[in-house]
Amino acid sequence: MKKSLLALAALSAFASVAHAQSSVTLYGIIDEAAVYESSQKTSGANTAASPNVGGKKIAFDSLSGLNGSRWGLKGTEDLGGGLKAVFQLENGANINTGGFGQGGLEFGRQAYVGLSSAQLGTVTMGRQYDSVVDFIGPMIFADQIGSAYSALPGDVDNANNGQRINNTIKYTSPNFNGLSFEGVYSLGGVAGEITRNSVYSGGVGYANGPFALAAAILHVNQPNVSYFSNGAIGASTIGTAASSVTTISSPMYGGYVNANSFQSVAAGGTYALGPANFGLIYSNVKFSNLNSGLSAISATAGVPAGNGVGSAIFNSLEANFTWHWTPALQTGGAYSYTKGTSVQFSGAPLAATGTNNTGGVHYSQFSLSTDYALSKRTDVYILGVYQLASGVDSTGTRATASINTLSGSTNNHEGVVRVGLRHKF
């Protein structure tokens, strides 16, 4: 009898442990490469009175590869009844300096906690990705084997996850026979003005066999405070110096980040045919009500003193393909075209045009990449991106090439070559 009671107690204890089963995983990616840039700006505007000579550059980089280098912790706890607690903390890491990515934030890539149910979906809260990243991102060449360099100039539509969203609550649906959707909302945190600094995003996707389709929207109020800043939001003061976007890093739209709102709408599809995969993505980005007092920006060298009027709109199209020669070897390429509409400025006529109108801007970009897996966790790759620019950009001067994550070129064309090694753990 005593043995039976002991056995029953042991089984009860085991059942309790199984019910409260939990796991924590340490993971990461190290993506290091030698990078050659044909022409990069140093600082300041590139004008006749103050030329920016810049020049060629060779350096190591661990932040703009096939994946940005990172490490993180993620875990789950079984709460019973099909419900789980989930969390994730992820840090961007610069292995060449030992520093943090994402402006020095400890967990700048993502940090959230939530509840998940296989039947009802998942609700998470914290610093997270928006729906353009979640649904459109996997379709672009940059998220496959193109690297961050092959994203649109300045990652203007955020499909390559250039910006994260703070203070968010996100709902992600279960997968309904290939159909899934999500919604994201970021609290502005300003007393008496509920919508100020707020962000909302939503997306839907469908995958069935070789086809996949998706559409998503991201809308940001006062983007210079709530979006183009790596710092936390919620203060009642206007943030200016914290903006992570400038006319040096993103001349295509750096002069427009003082808009009252920013919106990115994107849709795309992919089709797999044997060893080949094809993708087509369209995005529309709008900076509305330029020179808003709620998104103040200090005058920067080259910017027409923040005197934009109306809205700035960018339409982009990307076509890409990848080809799997073997399970270990794949090659791919992409072409993207971005067109910016005319933007009017108040004040004196712009030197570049002699008028108060920029006349629009155009970017054509070509990308090629080859990746070879040495094992399940380690691969080597080589890739190149070439870009041509024309028109007048947000600085009010003749457009210069602006490959994503680079500091812009001194002229209207630029090339970059990256030879890298990636290891996952």
Which tokens belong to 74?
Answer: 């993620």
Span 331-345, mean pLDDT? Answer: 93
To the question of pTM greater than 0.85 for the whole model, the response is yes
Instruction: Fill in the amino acid letter for 69.
Output: S
Name which of 350, 290, 340 is nearest 316 in CA terms: 340
CA 74 from chain centre, in angstroms, equals: 21
Span 11-30, mean pLDDT? Answer: 69
Residues above pLDDT 70, as percent of the chain = 82
The Cα–Cα gap between 291 and 306 comes to 6
Q: Is the pLDDT of residue 202 over 50?
A: yes
Span 228-232, mean pLDDT? Answer: 61
Pick from 106-115, 147-156, 231-240: least confident: 231-240
pLDDT of 189 reads: 84
Cβ atoms within 10 Å, residue 335:
15
The Cα–Cα gap between 82 and 18 comes to 13
Q: Is the pLDDT of residue 134 over 80?
A: yes
Torsion region of 241: left, alpha or beta (phi above 0 gives left; psi -120 to 50 gives alpha)? alpha
Pick from 231-235, 293-297, 403-407: least confident: 231-235
CA 243 from chain centre, in angstroms, equals: 15
pLDDT-derived band at 4 (thresholds 50, 70, 90) equals: very low
Cβ within 8 Å of residue 77, ≥6 positions away: 20, 21, 22, 84, 85
Q: Is the pLDDT of residue 230 over 70?
A: no
Q: Provide the sign of the torsion angle of the four alpha carbons 147, 150, 151, 155, taken in this order.
A: positive
Pick from 29-33, 104-108, 332-336, 381-385: least confident: 104-108
Q: Is the pLDDT of residue 237 over 70?
A: no
SS3 347: coil
pLDDT of 242 reads: 45
Cβ atoms within 10 Å, residue 103:
12
Structural domains of the chain ordered from first start? 23-424 (2.40.160.10)
pLDDT of 145 reads: 97
The Cα–Cα gap between 380 and 32 comes to 10
Instruction: Fill in the amino acid letter for 9.
Output: A
The Cα–Cα gap between 238 and 225 comes to 7
The Cα–Cα gap between 379 and 420 comes to 9
Q: Is the pLDDT of residue 321 over 60?
A: yes
Q: Are 309 and 346 in contact (CB under 8 A)?
A: yes
Q: Is the pLDDT of residue 404 over 50?
A: yes
pLDDT of 357 reads: 74
Q: Provide the sign of the torsion angle of the four alpha carbons 229, 361, 40, 35, taken in this order.
A: positive
Name which of 222, 117, 130 is nearest 168 in CA terms: 130
pLDDT of 44 reads: 53
Q: Is the pLDDT of residue 265 over 50?
A: yes
Q: Which residue has the higher pLDDT, 343 or 64?
A: 64
Pick from 128-137, 227-236, 377-386: least confident: 227-236
Phi/psi at 352 (5° precision): -70, -30
pLDDT-derived band at 75 (thresholds 50, 70, 90) equals: very high
Residues above pLDDT 90, as percent of the chain = 64
Q: Is the pLDDT of residue 40 over 70?
A: yes
Q: Is the pLDDT of residue 59 over 60?
A: yes
The Cα–Cα gap between 89 and 68 comes to 15
C-alpha torsion 59→60→64→65, nearest 10: 120
Rg for the chain (alpha carbons), in Å? 23
Q: Is the pLDDT of residue 345 over 80?
A: no
